[in-house]
Chains A and B, each alone.
Chain A
Amino acid sequence: MREVLLTALRLSVDLADRTVLDGIALAASAGEVVAVVGANGAGKTTLLRACAGLLPEATGDLALGGIDPRQTAPATLATLRAYAPQHPTSAWDYTLAELGSLAASPEAFHHWRARFGLGALEARRLSELSGGERKLAHLCLTFSALGDAYGKVLLLDEPTTALDLCRAELVARAVRANAQAGAAVLVATHDLAWARTCDRVLVLSEGRLVAAGPPDTALTAELVRATWGGA
């Protein structure tokens, strides 16, 4: 039996006067890549942010590496999970070398930068990178935050959006490599082809979990039609 690293039970989030997440139950174990799919506004980002400990107002049970992220100091939390926002930003125009110096482990940042094909761009500023390269640079920060991936939780919000096919494949492989090293990965994506290669899929619709399980059983043609509409 593999170690369960992330569990949520009856997880709900109300933002303003709207229920964004409604009674979500989930579990993710070491070595597992779990895809979170759903239409725009289904609650994917809120689910990931709640799991990361970014929403103290979330109600229900939540455990990350055995502790409640809502009750944990940021420095401790940073050793248990890493998070990549959907739209990474930087107020200042760091060079890639400067960005790397903000990482938990600059050496790991360097490693991921080389792996994502940004190895030669050390002196390049963020504003001088393409949109996809910028996204990859920020992903390097997330991946390098984990250090040793074993027993950690990786929360990625649409990491392959804005990436070309080749770069998206690099990221998918990096995600798989982290899982093989012992991390539990929760990845929100609109790429259903990628979701089908994950170990399990959670389908969200209007804040509720409408299907969960291995891709073949969770992503049925019927459900895809019901969730995304169209033919």
Chain B
Amino acid sequence: MKRPVGTLVLAALLLALLALAALACGGAGLGWGTNGELLMLRLPRVLAALAAGLALGLGGANQQGVFRNPLADPGLTGVFGGALLGIALLLAGATEFTWQHRWALPTAAFAGALATSAALVWLGRGRSTSKLLLTGLGLNAFTAAGTLLIAARFPEARDILVNGAAGDWLGAATLELAGLPILGCVVAALCLLTQASALDRMALGEDMAFCLGTDVAQTRRTGVLLTALAAAAAVCLVGQVAFIGLLAPHLARALVGPRHRAMLPLAGVLGAGLLLLADTLGRSLWTQTPVSAAAMTALLGAPAFVWIAARRHA
């Protein structure tokens, strides 16, 4: 038998150790600095990676649950792309305004993510889940192209958007800038945890879930909203990063089974751990030319994903 609580506690302990290690590692040398100045330098980045990973893991698990498809991931279905496009549109239209108001960027990201998240559900209505995923891939390509178009047309936004598309924003995190997105990640994560029993029944198909008393339309709407919130907040911190939303729920399911009450919190903890590990390795292994969290995530995540896909039951 699987022990969900024990596994979750163990994963949380490992995450705490990893966070301590992440605070002590980096290009400026090991340790926290004589007066803790290195600690204060790295703390925002570590907190941002933890919060974004938590939101990504839970957001991916929710999208997989709502769409009943193990390949759903807000990073692949265009929700992240939408958030980034929202940011790009804001930067193109009102650069000064954006930097004067701390809430402007997260709000634009949320609007973009919500639009793609809703479009995904609306365009995919009554379709098979594989068609829904294809719709998501189309949305993802479209939003990515839109962001690149804006990056090419508006030189003042180019660097920041190109970095965002590469998932390389974590390095720029400061406590001031990251505060609101971190809060968004945590709120989204906590709300997503409440969806466990509805998602469990959604697995049996929308007809059966409805007949067992689950409000399917409400579950879908809540999923759209919370996934968009999680994705927008995470994108503000990291930029575009795929694979965490795919990998964390898979690992969680393999460890504690598919029941969402056990699997959701673990997916969040694993998501946080994966993103923090990827970011810490990326900036510690190559101190002169750090590798982005997104690249490291794919580097670690892709082989793990292939290994999981090759096994059954995942």
- Residues in A lying within 8 Å of B, measured CB to CB: 49, 52-54, 73-75, 77-79, 81-83, 85, 88-95, 98, 101-104, 123, 125, 127, 138, 141, 145
Contacts and interface: CB of A to CB of B under 8 A. Distances in A.
Contact of A74 (B203, B204, B205, B216): B216
Interface stretch (B138-146, B252-260, B275-283): B252-260
A81 B208 CA distance: 12
Which 4 A-B residue pairings sit nearest by Cβ, starting from the closest? A78-B213, A92-B258, A91-B68, A83-B211
B156 interface: no
Interface residues of B, number: 27
A81 B201 CA distance: 17
Contacts of A92: 203, 253, 258
Contacts of A145: 211-212
Contacts of A49: 207
Given A89-B205, A91-B203, A141 B312 contact: no
Contacts of A93: 258, 312-313
B159 interface: no
Contacts of A82: 211
Contacts of B202: 91
Nearest to B260: A92
Contacts of B312: 93, 127
B200 A54 contact: no
A73 B253 CA distance: 31
A79 to B, nearest CB: 8
Contacts of A74: 210-211, 213-216
Interface string B28-68: 00000000000000000000000000000000000001001
Interface of B is mostly: loop
B70 to A, nearest CB: 8
B69 interface: yes
Given A91-B68, A91-B203, A93-B258, A78 B208 contact: no
B213 A77 contact: yes
Interface in B210-268: 210-216, 253, 257-259
Contacts of A104: 212-213
Interface centre among A77, A81, A93 (most CB of B within 10 A): A93
Given A98-B259, A102-B200, A88 B205 contact: yes
Contact of A75 (B65, B207, B215, B253): B215
Contacts of A95: 257
Given A91-B68, A91-B69, A94-B258, A54 B207 contact: yes
Given A98-B257, A127-B313, A89 B213 contact: no
Contacts of B197: 102
A207 B211 CA distance: 23
Given A73-B215, A98-B257, A83 B207 contact: yes
B201 A98 contact: no
B84 to A, nearest CB: 29
A83 B208 contact: yes
15 contacts: A54-B210, A74-B213, A74-B216, A75-B215, A78-B211, A83-B207, A85-B208, A92-B203, A94-B203, A95-B257, A98-B259, A101-B200, A101-B259, A102-B201, A123-B1
A53 to B, nearest CB: 8
A101 B204 CA distance: 13
Given A125-B313, A127-B313, 6 more contacts: A85-B207, A90-B203, A91-B68, A92-B258, A94-B259, A102-B204
A77 B258 CA distance: 27
A58 B210 CA distance: 17
